[in-house]
Structure 1
């Protein structure tokens, strides 16, 4: 398996984990949880798990000042703020509209990589990006009021998440062990959420045992497995390409909601899924085409016996 294929599979696996867990999140909301509580516990609960993993694998806990600064910047300023703004946008506009606007982040990721890092955008990547973005628009839900604060928050969450993706690719975080990054980001993000939410009293500390169990599963699947897989995928593909494969997340979310929660699944949703799959196919075919064009190295023949 070449590195490109490995990166694709890792990123898709991460997207599927991120996409399926909202089913459990919906169940915890029915038991008294909310977005702030889930975000707080999702980051906090994974820290002990990651500490155990690091001890077993003998991964050093030490961080250099520069590495700690990057984790705080990328983790809190970009990743934690993304979750906070996205959840906050739900009170102004519908969840479907918020999610659709948030998944414009591959466009912003590609623009950041092109403008600030002079990354080359091949024609196949541009085509795939356009197709995938068009597919996301098929999930757009225009029902309900579209208030400006919600639109701004949702789009801002797309920008900050694209900064998170780029930061994981273009900084020293790229080469730090994924478990170490996830551990320190989980701890710093939990503390940041605590500082933001304690004054408003949004965090519910006493949840039913079943809700806490579901929350723990969400924490392990997202802040542990999905984050680590995404970091490894970005390392193999680069931020702009990985962002396209992350679009499997809304597909997985839509399908899991339809299968497990009985949510509506329209022809428009199906069209969006097919377009996203088509964009992925364009990237995969372009990779095979590039491989076919590379000159084949013929091993030298030794003297015949």
Structure 2
């Protein structure tokens, strides 16, 4: 049976804080993305500029901190695999929006905590805990309440694509901690994932003939903020969290991402606070509290 990740002490606390911080910062994506879309920049271009800028920022940080860019052949294979499943998740999710409402697609994508939990139990023999299943159900239910739209029509193709995006992200969370990447410097892992991602998204934008220039300095500022806050910081936090508290818990904490996005929309973008927002709050926050309390007690008992 897989051992319980260390939940107490400085390392455990850092893992929890990184997991929560990643979800919170990810939730600011609409805040920086919507002005770019309003300026006429499409999704393919936004993704390319976001990941390319993130890779440049990470390269500068690595240079300043003296982190080597050198990787072995085996490490490069692992990094390319992580890049394809991580960036593939984003591409599949965006593609699913073509076939169904974004709220429905987002809900299906946030099945990834369920998929992560099942993979960890079936293939890595992680302990089965009723509280984990309860927290997963509440978190996914909260995302559904936040995202679902009345009268939404489901497309089989769209459902399959959205679920593939969830599977890809679940595999990313697991393999970060179950591959050569586990022993690699976090900066190096995220840099190569971002660099490969920028090439993937550039190829996708060129394929669609959809690569656009950044229109002005204001838009460039939003791209930089999106790259640093919602890409560099969040991905470093995800890697740090997975290494310290495990894939399952990190995936459940990720349910805070859409909740943060909705709260940011209400507070900063003037969007209405609806019953669905209240319902999402009532499900997701207790789910996170359940995980924190039960795993904390188990760690102390161990």
**Counterparts of 1:292 and 1:214, CA distance in 2:** 43
Deviation at 1:135, TM superposition (A): 1.7
Aligned match of 2:206 in 192, 198, 212? 198
Q: 1:143 to 1:37 in 2, by over 3 A?
A: farther
* Mean Cα deviation higher: 207-216 or 276-285: 207-216
**Counterparts of 2:78 and 2:72, CA distance in 1:** 10
Instruction: Tell whether the 8 Å contact from 1:31 to 1:208 is kept in structure 2 after alignment.
Output: no
Instruction: Tell whether the 8 Å contact from 2:139 to 2:284 is kept in structure 1 after alignment.
Output: yes
Structure 1 counterpart of 2:51: 43
Structure 2 portions without partners, runs of 5+ = 1-8
Give matches, 1:112-123, under 5 Å. Answer: 112-123=119-130
Give matches, 1:194-233, under 5 Å. Answer: 194-233=202-241
Asked if 1:65 is matched to 2:73, the reply is yes
Deviation at 1:70, TM superposition (A): 0.9
SS at match of 1:198: helix
Deviation at 1:144, TM superposition (A): 4.0
CA RMSD between the two structures = 1.6
**Counterparts of 1:96 and 1:249, CA distance in 2:** 14
Aligned match of 1:33 in 31, 41, 45? 41
Q: 1:29 to 1:267 in 2, by over 3 A?
A: same
SS at match of 1:33: coil
Structure 1 length-normalised TM: 0.91
Instruction: Tell whether the 8 Å contact from 2:89 to 2:168 is kept in structure 1 after alignment.
Output: yes
Deviation at 1:161, TM superposition (A): 0.8
Instruction: Tell whether the 8 Å contact from 2:41 to 2:214 is kept in structure 1 after alignment.
Output: no
Structure 1 counterpart of 2:13: 5
Structure 2 counterpart of 1:159: 167
How many residues get paired? 293
Structure 2 length-normalised TM: 0.92
Instruction: Tell whether the 8 Å contact from 1:179 to 1:224 is kept in structure 2 after alignment.
Output: no
Q: Deviations over 1:66-91 (max 9, x none)?
A: 11111111112x11111111111112
